[in-house]
Structure 1
Amino acid sequence: MTARRCDIAILGGGLAGGLVALALRRARPDLSLLLVEQGERLGGNHVWSFFGSDVGNEGRALLDGMFVAAWPEYTVHFPAFRRRLKTSYYSITSRRFDAVLRAALGQDSLITGVRALACSATKVTLSEGTRIEAGAVIDARGLRNLQHLTGGWQKFVGRRLRLAQPHSLDAPIVKDASVEQIDGYRFVYCLPFAADEIFVEDTYYSDSPALDVAVLGERIDAYVAARGWQVAEVLGEEHGVLPVVAGGNFDAFWRSSGGAVARAGVRAGLFQAVTSYSLPDAVRFALALARQPDLGGEALAAFSEAYARRHWKRSAFHRALSAMLFAAARPEHRYRVLERFYRLDRRLIERFYAGRTTLLDKARILSGKPPVPVTKAIGVLTGLGARPNPLSFAGTRA
């Protein structure tokens, strides 16, 4: 059995694990790091996007070199209106993420193509027999157990396309909900990476995690054709299913996700409850962890649990909105909740996505006639009405 030693071992080279490794390398270059990823590429196969207001200057500095596109504005389309918002928007790809991390960390700090079989706060056993002894272990391998959470699902198929002619878009369409509403709240997402290159994603807020990639691919084809775009080449495709959390038992979730080991990213429940997006939280957590004075295994385990608990508490309002979306609105009418939301003040929308919703914001979001039946809305918010289903991946097909 091979043995390796390091100051910090990070399990999972996805978004959360990779950013923790990068933040530690920049803040503490004296530390020896090992980043373990079961795939061959760090970050997998993804396009991640975020608003400039989500992460701030320090966060953008951490992500420096990863951006493949940036826009000063974005648009949303709904059946009743369209709106252009002056908020900056950025995109990152896994390929660029992988390149930046490899350059920053060096090959000696990477172990790819190998799974972590078991871990404790200071030890890891890998699938090919290597045993890692570390000052601290950070588990960033993704969600392990959802049985103690309730809500619904965000599922999607995205394609990066090269077109035969320019598409004419000058800003991303973050939500085009003017499309037919199928399987819950549906919208199409378009990122114009170049004059003749665009990323098109078909997304659903559904009661079921079942995902038929072929069917969603056909709907992307139909959307592209309806806009008059002709595809010259498919440059890539990705798909996924993410939980939209509306409630649950944090203590049970934390206990079921592993022992006394530091956790990061969605493994720690660090994602936005309504959007399921994890990049802003991954950036904030990585920066906070890198500032910790004690980077030992026990100290980081306690830090990550306390951090995740604070995030869960701060996210109560967002979970309530997810509950309203899934339990109070009819599936084909869920878009109305977002249609009303996008009429609100731009700064409020920015704070909402960044997880910094104020008391006045909450009052504004809930004021007026709700876009769902009043009795159901009140029932969900008071806990006396219908509740979202427990989360389970049973039946998923990808």
Structure 2
Amino acid sequence: MESSSRDTEADTATPVAYDVAIVGGGLSGGLIALALHQARPEFRIALIEGGKTLGGNHRWSWFSSDLSEAGRALLSTFRKEGWDDGYEVRFPKYRRKLKTGYRSLSSTNFHERLSRALPEGTMHMGCRAMSIDARGVDLEDGLRITARTVIDCRTFSSSKHLNGGWQVFLGRHVKLEQAHSIERPVIMDATVDQVAPHGNGGAYRFVYVLPLGAHDVFVEDTYYADDPQLDRGALSARIDQYCHQNGWQDGTPVGHESGVLPVLTGGNFAAYQDEVRIEGVAIAGARGGFVHPLTSYTMPMAVENALAIAAEADLPGAQLAAIMEARAKTHWRRTGYYRLLGRFLFFAAKPEKRVNVFQRFYSLREGLIERFYTGKSTAFDRLRVLWGDPPVSIPRAITAMFKRGKPLKPEKTA
């Protein structure tokens, strides 16, 4: 049963005590709460979210090969869409079907499952955290929540210490009068125009399509660009155009999502950690740096962190904070190769030619592609991506290796 901060305890001036307080009810925070509850059902957990629902308005997708057996078990009770017959990619030079299964979870189903799974009194919705410290959380309404362990799972914090570009997207769930003919996800249709929607030159752009049912389709327009401008009107018009081209003009919108995500090409991660650190508070999720630098992918990292935190549930908050900071440093170090590829994408490839980078990548072996998305590319994988017929010129690639990129600044919306 869902609860709010406005229960009997919240109406008193006495601080409310918990074993663990999690600030931020997105993917990372929600999975941590679930994993902790399953591992230690006697714990009293506070999951604090400023919005009205957990997960916001979002959809998370992943490949069936991304998760461990324990990770699949953690997600097993969520209602989600799945395609065991693989997925497709489409580029100017070819179309390809890949065999790896694909999964997708909506924030609606995420919220509904956690509402049933977590004990009454766990979920505190519509509660903004005004301040966080190692001993608890002060909410906007004046309530103080105290906890032995505090975990910060708030959204990514733009910083001058991190460099890169942006992945900008707008998605729409459409219910059609007539059944569509899409059999499997099209995770990249890059046959579309490669010009940035706000008219600032080229950008790697693709359309992402999920067949959610015989009459339901999710269409998302995504592009990699140098600035974080989200032009909702332009992207919505492009979705209209794509739907019309596919004969889906009789559809009724029933849902949407949008976002601006960082694509990391470099930076001073130690300085970033200094910037976001709250002494004694563990940090997880994108704010902690747990993202795929090139794809902004988070599901495997969120699942692994949730399981790791649940395994260390008895540690004092300060020790857990140190463990998570060390995990973030390790993740940053292990994903340096993907930041290099990001530099090739943004600085070696001309904007209108960025499509060639992904077009060549998706011509490689499926196992390599699977490992790429989980951030576990082998040494041979890394050589293979760069070896052969490179999608960018050697001189431009060498120059790009030493570029830092623009500092990531706060998001802009139109």
- Given that 2:158 and 2:408 are in contact with CA atoms closer than 8 Å, whether structure 1 keeps it comes out as no
Residue 159 (1) aligns with residue 179 (2):
no
Instruction: Give 1:191's aligned amino acid.
Output: L
RMSD: 1.1
- Name which of 338, 363, 374 aligns with 1:343: 363
- Name which of 320, 333, 337 aligns with 2:340: 320
Q: Which residue of 1 aligns with 2:106?
A: 93
- Given that 1:165 and 1:230 are in contact with CA atoms closer than 8 Å, whether structure 2 keeps it comes out as no
Residue 102 (1) aligns with residue 111 (2):
no
3-state secondary structure, aligned to 2:333: helix
- Name which of 312, 323, 326 aligns with 1:303: 323
- Name which of 29, 32, 37 aligns with 1:25: 37
Q: Cα offset for 1:293? A: 5.8
Q: Cα offset for 1:158? A: 0.1
3-state secondary structure, aligned to 1:41: coil
Q: Which residue of 2 aligns with 1:62?
A: 74
Distance 1:292 1:65 in 2: 23
CA deviation vs aligned residue, 1:145-183 (integer Å, no higher than 9, x gap): 421111100000000001121110110000000000022
Q: Cα offset for 1:359? A: 0.4
Distance 1:54 1:2 in 2: 44
Q: Which residue of 2 aligns with 1:192?
A: 211
Distance 1:246 1:316 in 2: 9
Q: Counterparts of 1:232-247 in structure 2 under 5 Å? A: 232-247=251-266
Q: Cα offset for 1:2? A: 3.8
Q: Counterparts of 1:1-398 in structure 2 under 5 Å? A: 1-72=13-84, 73-183=86-196, 184-260=203-279, 261-292=281-312, 294-381=314-401, 383=402, 386-393=403-410, 396-398=412-414
Structure 1 regions of 5+ residues with no counterpart?
none
Distance 2:213 2:157 in 1: 37
**Compared CA separation, residues 228 and 145, structure 1 to 2 (3 A):** closer
Distance 2:120 2:210 in 1: 32
Q: Cα offset for 1:277? A: 1.4
Structure 2 regions of 5+ residues with no counterpart?
1-12, 197-202
Instruction: Give 2:118's aligned amino acid.
Output: L
3-state secondary structure, aligned to 1:54: coil
Distance 1:112 1:62 in 2: 23
- Given that 1:3 and 1:130 are in contact with CA atoms closer than 8 Å, whether structure 2 keeps it comes out as yes
**Compared CA separation, residues 293 and 190, structure 1 to 2 (3 A):** closer
Instruction: Give 1:312's aligned amino acid.
Output: W
Distance 1:130 1:295 in 2: 25
3-state secondary structure, aligned to 1:161: strand
Q: Cα offset for 1:112? A: 0.7
Instruction: Give 1:397's aligned amino acid.
Output: T
Instruction: Give 2:389's aligned amino acid.
Output: K
TM-score relative to the length of structure 2: 0.93
Distance 1:277 1:146 in 2: 19
Quote the sequence identity (%). Answer: 47
Q: Cα offset for 1:301? A: 0.7
- Given that 2:170 and 2:235 are in contact with CA atoms closer than 8 Å, whether structure 1 keeps it comes out as yes
Instruction: Give 1:185's aligned amino acid.
Output: Y
Q: Cα offset for 1:66? A: 2.0
Distance 1:106 1:391 in 2: 39
CA deviation vs aligned residue, 1:168-214 (integer Å, no higher than 9, x gap): 01100000000000221000000000011000000000001011111
- Given that 1:294 and 1:300 are in contact with CA atoms closer than 8 Å, whether structure 2 keeps it comes out as no
TM-score relative to the length of structure 1: 0.97
3-state secondary structure, aligned to 2:287: helix
3-state secondary structure, aligned to 1:114: coil
- Given that 2:36 and 2:313 are in contact with CA atoms closer than 8 Å, whether structure 1 keeps it comes out as no
Distance 1:104 1:85 in 2: 35
CA deviation vs aligned residue, 1:85-127 (integer Å, no higher than 9, x gap): 0001000001110011111112311111011111112221111
- Given that 1:145 and 1:257 are in contact with CA atoms closer than 8 Å, whether structure 2 keeps it comes out as no
Instruction: Give 1:106's aligned amino acid.
Output: P
- Given that 2:87 and 2:97 are in contact with CA atoms closer than 8 Å, whether structure 1 keeps it comes out as yes
Q: Cα offset for 1:144? A: 2.2
Q: How many corresponding residue pairs?
A: 394
337-346 vs 121-130, greater mean Cα deviation: 121-130
Instruction: Give 1:156's aligned amino acid.
Output: F
